[in-house]
Structure 1
Amino acid sequence: MPFIRTNVHQDTSQEQRQAIVDGIHRALVESIGMPEDELFNMLSEYQSHQFWCSRTFNGIARSERVVVVEITLRRGRSDAMKRELYAAIARNLKSGAKVSPKDVLIFMHENDYSDWSVGEGRFAMGLVQQAGTD
Protein backbone atom coordinates (compact mmCIF):
# COMPACT_ATOMS: atom_id res chain seq x y z
CA MET A 1 0.00 0.00 0.00
CA PRO A 2 1.85 3.08 -1.13
CA PHE A 3 1.23 6.28 0.79
CA ILE A 4 1.72 9.39 -1.33
CA ARG A 5 2.33 12.97 -0.25
CA THR A 6 1.91 15.43 -3.07
CA ASN A 7 2.77 19.11 -2.74
CA VAL A 8 1.49 21.65 -5.25
CA HIS A 9 1.65 25.42 -5.56
CA GLN A 10 -1.24 27.12 -3.76
CA ASP A 11 -2.62 28.52 -7.02
CA THR A 12 -3.22 25.03 -8.44
CA SER A 13 -6.91 24.66 -9.31
CA GLN A 14 -9.06 21.94 -7.76
CA GLU A 15 -9.47 20.34 -11.20
CA GLN A 16 -5.71 20.25 -11.72
CA ARG A 17 -5.18 18.87 -8.20
CA GLN A 18 -7.61 16.04 -8.94
CA ALA A 19 -5.87 15.34 -12.27
CA ILE A 20 -2.50 15.21 -10.48
CA VAL A 21 -3.79 12.71 -7.89
CA ASP A 22 -5.46 10.64 -10.63
CA GLY A 23 -2.31 10.65 -12.78
CA ILE A 24 -0.09 9.50 -9.94
CA HIS A 25 -2.57 6.78 -8.95
CA ARG A 26 -2.93 5.53 -12.53
CA ALA A 27 0.88 5.35 -12.86
CA LEU A 28 1.16 3.29 -9.66
CA VAL A 29 -1.53 0.87 -10.84
CA GLU A 30 -0.06 0.48 -14.33
CA SER A 31 3.66 0.51 -13.48
CA ILE A 32 4.00 -1.47 -10.27
CA GLY A 33 0.71 -3.38 -10.22
CA MET A 34 -0.78 -1.58 -7.25
CA PRO A 35 -4.44 -2.56 -6.73
CA GLU A 36 -6.97 0.07 -7.87
CA ASP A 37 -8.42 0.51 -4.39
CA GLU A 38 -5.10 1.43 -2.80
CA LEU A 39 -5.46 5.17 -3.12
CA PHE A 40 -3.82 7.08 -0.27
CA ASN A 41 -2.56 10.47 -1.43
CA MET A 42 -2.35 13.43 0.94
CA LEU A 43 -2.19 16.58 -1.14
CA SER A 44 -0.83 19.76 0.42
CA GLU A 45 -0.13 23.17 -0.99
CA TYR A 46 2.79 25.52 -0.62
CA GLN A 47 3.24 29.22 -1.21
CA SER A 48 6.12 30.52 -3.30
CA HIS A 49 8.00 31.65 -0.20
CA GLN A 50 7.71 28.18 1.40
CA PHE A 51 9.61 26.09 -1.15
CA TRP A 52 13.03 26.75 -2.57
CA CYS A 53 14.62 24.62 -5.23
CA SER A 54 17.26 25.08 -7.88
CA ARG A 55 15.60 26.11 -11.12
CA THR A 56 18.51 24.60 -13.09
CA PHE A 57 19.70 21.51 -11.14
CA ASN A 58 20.92 18.73 -13.41
CA GLY A 59 20.31 20.88 -16.51
CA ILE A 60 16.52 20.97 -16.12
CA ALA A 61 14.81 24.36 -16.33
CA ARG A 62 12.08 24.32 -13.67
CA SER A 63 9.32 26.83 -13.08
CA GLU A 64 8.14 28.12 -9.71
CA ARG A 65 5.28 25.58 -9.72
CA VAL A 66 7.12 22.34 -9.01
CA VAL A 67 4.95 19.34 -8.08
CA VAL A 68 6.67 17.28 -5.39
CA VAL A 69 5.61 13.62 -5.19
CA GLU A 70 6.82 11.65 -2.17
CA ILE A 71 6.08 7.92 -2.29
CA THR A 72 6.37 5.61 0.71
CA LEU A 73 5.90 1.94 -0.07
CA ARG A 74 6.99 -1.54 0.80
CA ARG A 75 10.45 -2.49 -0.41
CA GLY A 76 10.83 -4.86 -3.37
CA ARG A 77 10.32 -3.01 -6.67
CA SER A 78 13.11 -3.30 -9.22
CA ASP A 79 14.94 -0.30 -10.62
CA ALA A 80 13.20 -0.96 -13.94
CA MET A 81 9.78 -0.77 -12.27
CA LYS A 82 10.73 2.46 -10.52
CA ARG A 83 12.06 3.93 -13.75
CA GLU A 84 8.75 3.14 -15.48
CA LEU A 85 6.78 4.51 -12.52
CA TYR A 86 8.62 7.83 -12.59
CA ALA A 87 8.20 8.13 -16.36
CA ALA A 88 4.50 7.26 -16.14
CA ILE A 89 3.88 9.84 -13.42
CA ALA A 90 5.57 12.58 -15.47
CA ARG A 91 3.72 11.48 -18.62
CA ASN A 92 0.33 11.34 -16.86
CA LEU A 93 0.78 14.73 -15.19
CA LYS A 94 1.71 16.28 -18.51
CA SER A 95 -1.27 14.83 -20.38
CA GLY A 96 -3.92 14.97 -17.67
CA ALA A 97 -2.93 17.90 -15.47
CA LYS A 98 -0.89 20.05 -17.89
CA VAL A 99 2.18 19.91 -15.60
CA SER A 100 5.51 20.16 -17.36
CA PRO A 101 7.62 17.02 -16.78
CA LYS A 102 10.43 19.44 -15.88
CA ASP A 103 8.36 20.46 -12.85
CA VAL A 104 7.77 16.94 -11.50
CA LEU A 105 10.05 16.00 -8.60
CA ILE A 106 9.60 12.44 -7.31
CA PHE A 107 11.30 10.65 -4.47
CA MET A 108 10.66 7.37 -2.73
CA HIS A 109 10.98 5.88 0.74
CA GLU A 110 10.96 2.11 0.99
CA ASN A 111 10.24 0.10 4.10
CA ASP A 112 8.83 -3.26 5.22
CA TYR A 113 5.45 -4.59 6.39
CA SER A 114 6.57 -4.15 9.99
CA ASP A 115 6.64 -0.38 9.40
CA TRP A 116 2.90 -0.13 8.70
CA SER A 117 -0.46 -0.28 10.41
CA VAL A 118 -3.22 0.13 7.84
CA GLY A 119 -6.28 0.05 10.04
CA GLU A 120 -7.70 -0.88 13.40
CA GLY A 121 -4.27 -0.30 14.95
CA ARG A 122 -3.21 -3.70 13.67
CA PHE A 123 0.37 -4.54 12.80
CA ALA A 124 0.47 -4.90 9.00
CA MET A 125 2.76 -7.94 9.23
CA GLY A 126 -0.12 -9.77 10.91
CA LEU A 127 -2.39 -8.86 8.01
CA VAL A 128 0.11 -10.32 5.55
CA GLN A 129 0.38 -13.54 7.53
CA GLN A 130 -3.41 -13.86 7.75
CA ALA A 131 -4.33 -12.85 4.19
CA GLY A 132 -7.95 -13.52 3.38
CA THR A 133 -9.26 -13.52 6.95
CA ASP A 134 -11.58 -10.91 8.42
Structure 2
Amino acid sequence: MPLVRIDARSDKPAPVLQAIADGVHRALVDVIGIPEDDRFQIISTHGDGELVFDRHYMGVERQDVVFVQITLVRGRTEEKKKELYRRIVANLGADAGIRPEDVVITLVENERIDWSVGKGVAQLVDGV
Protein backbone atom coordinates (compact mmCIF):
# COMPACT_ATOMS: atom_id res chain seq x y z
CA MET A 1 0.00 0.00 0.00
CA PRO A 2 2.19 2.84 -1.18
CA LEU A 3 1.40 6.40 -0.18
CA VAL A 4 2.39 8.80 -2.96
CA ARG A 5 3.07 12.50 -2.48
CA ILE A 6 3.36 14.61 -5.61
CA ASP A 7 4.56 18.21 -5.47
CA ALA A 8 4.40 20.47 -8.52
CA ARG A 9 4.03 24.12 -9.46
CA SER A 10 0.59 25.64 -8.96
CA ASP A 11 0.33 26.72 -12.59
CA LYS A 12 -0.04 23.12 -13.78
CA PRO A 13 -3.59 22.55 -15.06
CA ALA A 14 -5.74 19.95 -13.32
CA PRO A 15 -5.58 17.51 -16.28
CA VAL A 16 -1.77 17.57 -16.14
CA LEU A 17 -1.78 16.91 -12.39
CA GLN A 18 -4.21 14.03 -12.96
CA ALA A 19 -1.96 12.63 -15.71
CA ILE A 20 1.01 12.80 -13.34
CA ALA A 21 -0.92 10.97 -10.62
CA ASP A 22 -2.20 8.37 -13.11
CA GLY A 23 1.29 7.82 -14.53
CA VAL A 24 2.84 7.22 -11.12
CA HIS A 25 0.05 4.84 -10.15
CA ARG A 26 0.28 2.90 -13.41
CA ALA A 27 4.02 2.44 -12.88
CA LEU A 28 3.44 1.11 -9.35
CA VAL A 29 0.86 -1.36 -10.66
CA ASP A 30 2.93 -2.47 -13.65
CA VAL A 31 6.36 -2.64 -12.04
CA ILE A 32 5.92 -3.63 -8.42
CA GLY A 33 2.53 -5.30 -8.74
CA ILE A 34 0.35 -3.32 -6.37
CA PRO A 35 -3.38 -3.90 -6.87
CA GLU A 36 -5.13 -1.47 -9.20
CA ASP A 37 -7.41 -0.25 -6.39
CA ASP A 38 -4.50 0.32 -3.97
CA ARG A 39 -4.31 4.03 -4.73
CA PHE A 40 -3.49 6.62 -2.08
CA GLN A 41 -2.03 9.89 -3.37
CA ILE A 42 -1.58 13.43 -2.09
CA ILE A 43 -1.07 16.12 -4.72
CA SER A 44 0.23 19.49 -3.51
CA THR A 45 0.82 22.50 -5.69
CA HIS A 46 3.19 25.34 -4.89
CA GLY A 47 3.58 28.95 -5.94
CA ASP A 48 6.71 30.82 -6.93
CA GLY A 49 9.60 30.22 -4.57
CA GLU A 50 7.96 27.27 -2.81
CA LEU A 51 9.76 24.51 -4.71
CA VAL A 52 13.49 24.90 -4.19
CA PHE A 53 15.88 22.79 -6.27
CA ASP A 54 19.31 22.98 -7.82
CA ARG A 55 18.90 23.38 -11.56
CA HIS A 56 22.17 21.56 -12.35
CA TYR A 57 22.77 19.05 -9.51
CA MET A 58 24.62 15.91 -10.68
CA GLY A 59 24.66 17.16 -14.27
CA VAL A 60 20.88 17.10 -14.73
CA GLU A 61 19.43 20.28 -16.24
CA ARG A 62 16.14 20.88 -14.41
CA GLN A 63 13.57 23.52 -15.35
CA ASP A 64 10.18 22.68 -13.83
CA VAL A 65 10.60 20.02 -11.15
CA VAL A 66 7.92 17.57 -10.10
CA PHE A 67 8.76 15.80 -6.83
CA VAL A 68 7.39 12.28 -6.34
CA GLN A 69 7.82 10.70 -2.91
CA ILE A 70 6.59 7.14 -2.46
CA THR A 71 6.32 5.59 0.99
CA LEU A 72 6.08 1.81 0.78
CA VAL A 73 6.85 -1.40 2.61
CA ARG A 74 10.50 -2.44 2.40
CA GLY A 75 11.48 -5.35 0.18
CA ARG A 76 11.80 -4.39 -3.49
CA THR A 77 15.02 -5.23 -5.28
CA GLU A 78 17.37 -2.60 -6.64
CA GLU A 79 16.39 -3.66 -10.16
CA LYS A 80 12.65 -3.19 -9.42
CA LYS A 81 13.32 0.27 -7.97
CA LYS A 82 15.33 1.32 -11.02
CA GLU A 83 12.60 0.03 -13.33
CA LEU A 84 10.02 1.92 -11.29
CA TYR A 85 11.98 5.16 -11.76
CA ARG A 86 12.26 4.53 -15.51
CA ARG A 87 8.58 3.73 -15.87
CA ILE A 88 7.41 6.75 -13.87
CA VAL A 89 9.53 9.08 -16.00
CA ALA A 90 8.32 7.45 -19.22
CA ASN A 91 4.67 7.69 -18.16
CA LEU A 92 4.96 11.32 -17.07
CA GLY A 93 6.64 12.24 -20.33
CA ALA A 94 4.08 10.47 -22.49
CA ASP A 95 0.94 11.40 -20.57
CA ALA A 96 1.71 14.74 -18.91
CA GLY A 97 4.47 16.24 -21.06
CA ILE A 98 6.93 16.30 -18.16
CA ARG A 99 10.60 16.28 -19.15
CA PRO A 100 12.57 13.32 -17.69
CA GLU A 101 15.08 15.79 -16.25
CA ASP A 102 12.33 17.40 -14.19
CA VAL A 103 11.16 14.30 -12.31
CA VAL A 104 12.73 13.78 -8.88
CA ILE A 105 11.67 10.51 -7.21
CA THR A 106 12.38 9.34 -3.68
CA LEU A 107 11.35 6.11 -2.01
CA VAL A 108 10.76 5.98 1.74
CA GLU A 109 10.67 2.41 3.00
CA ASN A 110 9.24 1.10 6.23
CA GLU A 111 7.81 -2.11 7.71
CA ARG A 112 4.32 -3.62 7.59
CA ILE A 113 3.70 -2.67 11.22
CA ASP A 114 4.11 0.99 10.25
CA TRP A 115 0.75 1.05 8.41
CA SER A 116 -2.84 1.39 9.51
CA VAL A 117 -5.28 1.94 6.67
CA GLY A 118 -8.29 2.67 8.82
CA LYS A 119 -10.06 1.77 12.04
CA GLY A 120 -6.80 1.96 14.02
CA VAL A 121 -5.86 -1.56 12.91
CA ALA A 122 -2.51 -2.79 11.59
CA GLN A 123 -4.08 -4.59 8.62
CA LEU A 124 -0.79 -5.52 6.96
CA VAL A 125 0.34 -7.38 10.08
CA ASP A 126 -2.94 -8.67 11.46
CA GLY A 127 -4.17 -9.95 8.09
CA VAL A 128 -7.46 -8.10 8.38
* Residues 42-62 of structure 1: CA deviation (Å, up to 9, x unaligned): 000111211211000011110
Aligned residues between the structures: 127
> Which residue of 2 is the match for residue 106 of structure 1?
105
Identify the residue that residue 116 of structure 2 maps to in structure 1. 117
Worse overlay, 15-24 or 48-57: 48-57
Query: Any idea what the Cα deviations from partners look like across 1:89-134, whole Å, max 9, x if unmatched?
Result: 000000000000100000010001110101111123113xx5xxxx
SS in structure 2 of the partner of residue 31 of structure 1: helix
Moved over 6 A (4+): none
**Partner of residue 44, structure 2:** 44
Taking structure 1 as the reference length, what is the TM-score of the superposition? 0.92
Alpha-carbon distance between aligned partners in 1 of 2:122 and 2:30, rounded to the nearest angstrom: 28
When normalised by structure 2's length, the TM-score is 0.96
Which amino acid in structure 1 is aligned with residue 76 of structure 2?
R
Name the structure 1 match of 2:31: 31
CA offsets per residue over residues 26-54 of structure 1, 9 Å max, x none?
00001101110011010001112112110
CA-based RMSD: 0.8
Q: In 2, Cα distance between the equivalents of 1:51 and 1:85?
A: 24
**Residue 90 of structure 1 aligns with which residue?**
89
Rg larger in structure: 1
- 5 Å matches for 1:34-73? 34-63=34-63, 65-73=64-72
Q: Which amino acid aligns with 1:45?
A: T
Letter in 2 for 1:114: I
Unaligned runs of 5+ in 2: none
Q: Give the Cα–Cα distance (whole angstroms) in 1 for the partners of residues 87 and 33 of structure 2.
A: 13
d(CA) in 2 for partners of 1:51, 1:8: 8
